[in-house]
């Protein structure tokens, strides 16, 4: 008697199936959005690297000017 299978009656089975279908569709949409965000993030990272390069270049030039103004005999 303990091993007898017990079942639960599922009301509104069609509604549950429709709900699951909608959830799957939303999950697909979220995946697509995450892919787009990843693309934007990598693009942003590239721009930030450009910024970093530009700042380094400016820093070097400022140092050069500073040295040439403060110690002109070395140049």
Partner 1 sequence: MGWFFKKKKSSTPVPLPNRALSEEHALNLSQKKNEPEKVIRPAELKAAAGVGPKDMAAPDPEGQMPEMPTNLPPAQAPSTTPGAQKPMRFSSDPVYLAVANYRKILGELDEIKYSLVRLGELNKNLEKSEYNEEKDFNKMRLAVKNVHDKLLSADDVLFKN
CA–CA distance, 23 with 29 (Å, rounded to integer): 10
9 alpha-carbon distance from chain centroid: 43
CA–CA distance, 11 with 42 (Å, rounded to integer): 47
HSE (side-chain half, CA atoms, 13 Å) at 17: 5
Give least dist CB 14 to partner 1, A: 6
Give least dist CB 44 to partner 1, A: 9
Encoded one letter per residue, x for contact with partner 1 by CB under 8 A and - for no contact, window 10-49 reads: xx-xx-----------------------------------
Query: According to the binding rule CB under 8 A, does residue 75 interact with partner 1?
Result: no
Q: Which parts of this chain interact with partner 1 (CB under 8 A)?
A: 5-11, 13-14, 51, 55, 58, 62, 65
């Amino acid at each position: 008697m303990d091993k007898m299978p017990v079942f639960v009656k599922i009301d509104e089975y069609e509604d549950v199936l429709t709900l699951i279908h909608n959830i799957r569709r939303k999950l697909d949409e979220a995946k697509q959005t995450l892919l787009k965000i990843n693309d934007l993030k990598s693009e942003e990272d590239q721009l930030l690297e450009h910024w970093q390069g530009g700042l380094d270049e400016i820093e070097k030039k400022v140092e050069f000017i500073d040295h040439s103004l403060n110690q002109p005999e070395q140049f």
